[in-house]
Amino acid sequence: MLDASDTPTLSTSPASDSVSDSVLVSRELIERLQAELKFKQTKIEALNFEIARLKRWRFGSSAESLEATTQAVLFDAILDDTALEDAAAKQANKPPPAAPGVKGKAVRQALPANLPRVDRHYDIGATHCACGQAFKRIGEEVSEQLDCVPAQFFVLRHIRGKYACACCQTIQATPMPAQMIDKGLPASGLLAQVAIAKIDDHLPLYRQTEIYARSGVHIPRSSMAQWLGICGVRLEPLGAALKDFILGHDVLHADETPVALLAPGRGKTKKAFVWVYRTTNFVTQRAVLYDFTLSRSGEHPRRVLGAFGGTLVTDDFSGYHALHKQGIKAAFCMAHARRKLFEVFELNGSQIAGQAVALIAKLYEIERELKDLGPEDRLLARQQRSKPVAHTLHAWLTTQRQLLVKADATARAIDYALSNWHALTTFLGDGAVPIDNNAAENAIRPLAVGRKNWLFVGSQLAGERAAVLMSLIESAKLNRHDPWAYLKDVFERLPTLKNRDLAQLLPHNWRPASAIVEPGPVAATA
């Protein structure tokens, strides 16, 4: 037997210590390399996402819709059984889809009944049949085609009575009605046509000159530019009254977009901005105001909205933040948050972002069903139906964000939603607040189309005058008026209208003073 003193012991030699140290160093190196690799992979994914997003903006479709099957899968992963049952019930009530390849027969729409008819009569020319029997008329066949002639100009003659007194040796004549352009060539209809063609149809003045020349009338571009300038100045009081009307609402939309401004003397352009302030679609009397500025500074919305104390629906542009400190309540656009998540889902295939988009789609589905309700009823329905969905969305984003690194594209999209969550969900506490800022973005669309045609604004004054005209034209369209008929009537009545009666000519109050009389045949004069 061996005693304790004879028991062999393991000795730690310097060689074994060096091996252990080497193993530890190797492990640390591997872990560091793995961390660096993960970071670089995340960075590469983020860069690939940015490249894909830029390609989508440049070449891809602007639609942001999920396929029905994809959306169903996303809902299955997150919604409860009750919601799934409701979705299944709605799907069951839908009519069955048409068989593949079977399309409805195209039906030609009837031509408008209000258009004048020009009849052309045709006859067979013969009075007797080949057998010798005389033909008897039994009816006629009528077919209709749509035709047109170019815009026709006519000369409006103001014939005023002129009287003399033989006793007093004086002459009196009926005064000339007041005009927008005193002693000017254009009548109100032509002024309205030039303004509508420039602002609403996006036709530069040089193109209008060519179009009018084909009708035998030469109108220099410089003359039309002068007319628009004078009209813009004369319409400024009406534009100020429109601004006061808009600021009288409790909820407004706001947005901005860049336009090119010609830099005098350099032959180049610089960036200017047009700001849009619009009433919501929840009110019946709608209006929109455009404001032309030389910069994107926050001082411009503060200047326009100085007397406003309600809720402003915007995106998260920093230029609006000072307004919130002045007491204006912030409501951010849910469509912006959705757009960031949708881009990640579409370009990276992120299921986290996809399920968030599906929940936001549920909110929009509820809003479509509530659009015709009053503010109180809409608020009650939002509290009962939309608030639980929003709570689920917030919980989902919070949980998933903890699993993502900061550089991940999905994480950045989630961070935007969570950091602005209070303002994004303002609509849940006010039935008069819309869920997004799409109304303002739609009001910007004419500018986006226009700048592709007229390319740039000639001067600051020209931009300001155009903003007044655009405000009145787009407001007239929002109230379902024919913009040409509206402007023509305004140009006729404004020169003699008192300032206290300006409200009559605002688009939401406007009623035509008289029916528009089409020019008839011009009588020949000796």
pLDDT of the chain, 526 residues: tens digit per residue: 445 445 444 455 555 666 676 777 777 778 778 777 777 767 776 676 667 666 666 655 555 655 544 444 444 444 444 444 454 445 445 555 544 444 555 566 788 888 888 888 888 878 888 887 888 888 888 888 777 777 788 888 888 888 888 888 888 888 888 888 887 888 999 999 999 999 999 898 999 999 999 888 899 999 999 999 999 999 999 999 999 999 999 999 999 999 888 877 666 888 899 999 999 999 999 999 999 999 999 899 999 998 888 999 999 888 888 888 888 999 999 999 999 999 888 877 788 888 999 999 999 999 999 999 999 999 999 999 999 999 999 999 999 888 888 778 888 899 999 999 999 999 999 999 999 999 999 999 988 887 777 777 878 888 899 999 999 999 999 999 999 999 999 999 999 888 888 999 999 999 876 544 445 444 433 3
Instruction: For residue 501, count CB atoms less than 10 angstroms from its CB and return exposed for 0-12, middle for 13-18, buried for 19 or more.
Output: exposed
- The two counts, helices (H) then strands (E), for the chain are 18, 7
Residues 281 and 384 placed together within one structural domain of the fold:
no
| E strand residue ranges, 280-321 | 288-293, 311-314
Beta bridge partners of 256: 275
Locate 154 and state its tokens: 């006519």
104, part of any domain: no
456 and 499 belong to one structural domain: yes
480, 294 Cβ separation under 8 angstroms:
no
One domain for residues 379 and 456 = no
Q: Is position 524 within any domain?
A: no
Chain centroid, CA 387 distance in Å: 27
Euclidean distance between CA atoms 244 and 240, whole angstroms: 6
149 within a domain of the structure (yes/no) = no
What tokens appear for 385 in the block?
């139906």
Last residue of a domain, one of 418, 436, 454: 436
At 79 the pLDDT is 47
Asked whether residue 51 is domain-assigned, the answer is: no
pLDDT at 303: 92
Q: Which domain holds residue 291?
A: 185-331+440-513
Residue 386, pLDDT score:
94
- Domain co-membership, 226 together with 272: yes
Q: What does the block give as tokens for 525?
A: 């004069």
Q: Look at residue 58 and tell me if it is in a domain.
A: no
Asked if 274 and 347 sit in the same domain, the reply is no
Query: Do the domain assignments include residue 15?
Result: no
Amino acid identity of residue 4, one-letter, is A
Q: Provide the 10 A C-beta neighbour count for residue 362.
A: 23
Contact 163, 173 (CB under 8 A): yes
Contact 437, 314 (CB under 8 A): yes
Asked whether the beta carbons of 138 and 125 are under 8 A apart, the reply is no
Q: Are 177 and 196 in contact, with CB atoms under 8 Å apart?
A: no
Residue 53 forms part of a structural domain: no
CA 193, CA 201: separation in Å to the nearest integer? 10
Distances (CA, A) of 305 to 225, 243, 289, 296, 382: 31, 10, 11, 15, 28
Laid out side by side, the sheet with 288-293 consists of 288-293, 268-279, 251-263, 311-314, 329-332
Domain end marker among 397, 412, 436? 436
Residues 305 and 452 in one domain: yes
| DSSP secondary structure letter of residue 385 | I
The verdict on residue 118 lying in a domain is no
Residue 382 and residue 503 in one domain: no
Q: Are residues 256 and 372 in the same domain?
A: no
Residue 73, pLDDT score? 43
φ, ψ for residue 281 (rounded to 5)? -80, -5
Q: Are 273 and 260 in contact (CB under 8 A)?
A: no
Per-residue confidence (pLDDT) for residue 13, from 0 to 100: 57
Same domain, 296 and 214: yes
Q: Both tokens of residue 362?
A: 């549920």
Q: Are residues 461 and 424 in the same domain?
A: no
State whether 377 and 486 are in the same domain.
no
Instruction: Kindly state the tokens that stand for 239.
Output: 């534009």
Is the domain of 287 the same as that of 198?
A: yes
Measure the CA–CA gap between 24 and 58, rounded to whole angstroms: 51
Domain count, the chain: 2
Please state, in angstroms and rounded to a whole number, the distance separating the CA atoms of residues 282 and 284.
Answer: 7
Which of the listed residues 436, 454, 482 is the one where a domain comes to its end?
A: 436
391, 424 contact by CB (below 8 A): no
